[in-house]
Amino acid sequence: MNVTKTQTEQAKADLQKLLSILPAPIAEKIESIGREIELLEVVMDLGRRPSARYTDGELILRQEEVTAADIAAVVSGIGDFDDDNRAGIARTLHRISGIRNRKGEVVGLTCRVGRAVYGTIDIIEDIIAEGHSILLLGRPGVGKTTMLRETARILAEKRRVVIVDTSNEIGGDGDIPHPAVGRARRMQVPRPAHQHETMIEAVENHNPEVIIIDEIGREREAAAARTINERAVQLIGTAHGNTLENLLLNPTLSDLVGGIESVTLSDDEARRRGTQKTVLERRAPPTFDVLIEIQDREKLLVHPDVTASVDSMLRGQPFRVEFRTRDEAGQVQVEQQSAVVTSAAVTGRREVRPRKDKEREDRNGRIITNGPNGSSRTQAGDDSAGLSAGPPGFEEESDTLHVFAYGVARNRLIQAAKRLKVHITLVNTLPEADVLVTLKSY
């Protein structure tokens, strides 16, 4: 109870430090609204009305427009901006970002409220404890940095943790890290473009067991992350992107999940797979073992095996995911599901099929099928006749025949089964098959 009270008092004291540098009418309006816990950002643009962004919307703070004197007063209270146009307040987690005109003058400010939120990683605490390298994805403001901060604090109780703090968002501004990171050590980055050098320096000089990195956004940083992972150091970081598919299609960061390249298959292999000769394949082992898509603060989609997810995704096959939610009582619910990516940009195929019962398409274009007992099932392929063309491992009819097709067009085989009223499932390996179908020439 005393710990919770202390944390609440610390959060209020930190917020007062931010309000103290804002123009008095704006700070007083924020205090009169009385929703400090829900406050996300204060936006001040020259010649426009200032606004406050909350978790459920945006409010205008005053009718008068922001003047150059208002912006100058805030800038004078925080000092100089870094090369990335970011600044902070010493020993707080707040971030003030500037917008400059062509002359280099600050004409806009985004004052982002930083607060230490405790209890955010209980939803993935079991994954972190296993020692896997973890990559967090999600849109801005969804809570990636907050989750990193608490991860650092908890792991630092028993292990050697070093934070590579690019913009001082994890450990706060100033030379003394914020209490929210616990016993973790923090290395500041002199210039954002040199973050990869600080990452390597952390491994070589400070003997860490865990390295925590916020905002991996450049190719050199992706290469440095791979180097760190090869040295058997647990890596926990965030990257720009919402989903695993986004990352695969990002030429700068795709190496974090193994990267993709176009390969040409032999005639026999193309027939065996039932695909075209030129396909996309994973180029290398992924840097991160587990990938977590943060959909919102209470909902996560976990890829427990990035290697399997990427390989299945590129072949248009179902892959296993975990959908984790936290209910109002604070209980974590884990639902095993299976998903399949239908985007031709990822799979290299253009397949169109009717939607089935119990199937749904999420906002990222993946087909999710929920099966009985909270599990999930996803099928892929052209089976408009009620036939299943996906791999085994899901519930099938008792009279379904597992067929391995070699040198036979899959669509013609399915059409023949439809005419004969035979339920079949096309499989990709011979041991899985009940029947082998091929031509005399083979």
- Specify the CATH number for the domain of residue 58: 3.30.450.90
Task: Give the whole-angstrom CA distance, residue 428 versus residue 124.
Answer: 34
Question: Looking at the structure, do residues 105 and 75 belong to the same domain, yes or no?
Answer: yes
Contact (CB, 8 A) for 195 and 163: no
Are 162 and 99 in a shared domain?
no
CA atoms within 13 A on the CB side of 76: 7
Measured between alpha carbons, how far is 318 from 308 in angstroms, rounded to an integer? Answer: 10
396: number of Cβ within 10 Å: 15
Do both 69 and 137 map to the same domain? no
Is residue 51 a part of any domain in this protein?
A: yes
Q: What does the pLDDT read at residue 362? A: 63
Per-residue pLDDT, 33: 92
Residue 351 has what pLDDT? 44
Identify the domain containing residue 9 by its residue range: 2-112
For residue 236, give both structure tokens: 């926990």
Return the CA Rg of the chain. Answer: 26
Report residue 281 as tokens: 């394949």
Task: State the burial class of residue 57 (Cβ atoms within 10 Å of its Cβ: 0-12, 13-18, 19+).
Answer: exposed
Q: How far is CA 264 from the centre of its chain?
A: 31
- Please give the tally of structural domains in the chain: 3
Residues 276 and 145 in one domain: yes
Angle at 66 between CA 65 and CA 72, to 5 degrees: 160
d(C-alpha 135, C-alpha 84), whole Å? 23
- 212 and 281 share one domain: yes
Closest CA to 442 of 409, 388, 405, 406: 406
Q: Is 394 exposed, middle or buried (0-12, 13-18, 19+ CB in 10 A)?
A: middle
| Same domain, yes or no: 94 and 225 | no
Examine the domain organization and report whether 105 and 204 are in the same domain: no
Residue 284 lies inside a defined structural domain of this protein: yes
Parallel, antiparallel, or unpaired: how do β-strands 51-54 and 260-264 relate? unpaired
Q: Which of 309, 341, 373 is the last residue of a domain?
A: 341
- Say yes or no: 245 and 159 in one domain: yes
> Residue 2's pLDDT is what?
56
Supply φ then ψ for residue 234, to 5 degrees: -65, 130
Residue 256 belongs to some domain of the structure: yes
Cα separation of 146 and 178, whole Å? 13
Do 279 and 251 belong together in one domain?
yes
What is the separation of C-alpha 253 from the centre of its chain, rounded to a whole number of angstroms? 12
Residue 370 CA to residue 374 CA, distance in Å, equals 7
Residues 134 and 224 reside in one and the same domain: yes
Residue 371's Cβ-count burial label (10 Å; 0-12, 13-18, 19+) is: middle
CA separation for the pair 123, 134 (Å, rounded): 14
Predicted pLDDT at 441: 73
Asked, for residue 371, whether it belongs to a domain, the answer is no
Q: Take residue 178 and report the two structure tokens written for it.
A: 């914020």
The alpha carbon dihedral of 269, 271, 276, 282 has a sign of negative
Confidence at residue 395, expressed as pLDDT on a 0 to 100 scale: 42
Residue 393 DSSP one-character state: S
Same domain, 238 and 184: yes
Q: In the beta sheet, which residues pair with residue 161?
A: 210
Along the 442 residues of the chain, how does pLDDT read in single tens digits?
A: 455 656 678 788 889 999 999 999 999 999 999 888 889 999 999 999 999 999 889 999 999 999 999 999 999 988 788 888 999 998 899 999 999 999 999 999 999 998 888 888 999 999 999 999 999 999 888 889 999 999 999 999 999 999 999 889 899 988 999 999 999 999 999 888 999 999 999 999 999 999 999 989 999 999 999 999 999 999 999 998 889 998 998 999 999 999 998 888 888 887 777 777 888 889 999 999 999 999 988 999 999 999 999 998 888 888 999 999 998 888 999 999 988 776 655 655 544 333 444 555 665 656 665 644 444 433 333 333 333 444 444 344 447 888 888 877 777 788 888 888 888 888 888 888 888 888 877 6
My answer on whether 193 and 75 are in the same domain is no
Alpha helices, DSSP H, located in 321-434: 344-347, 410-420
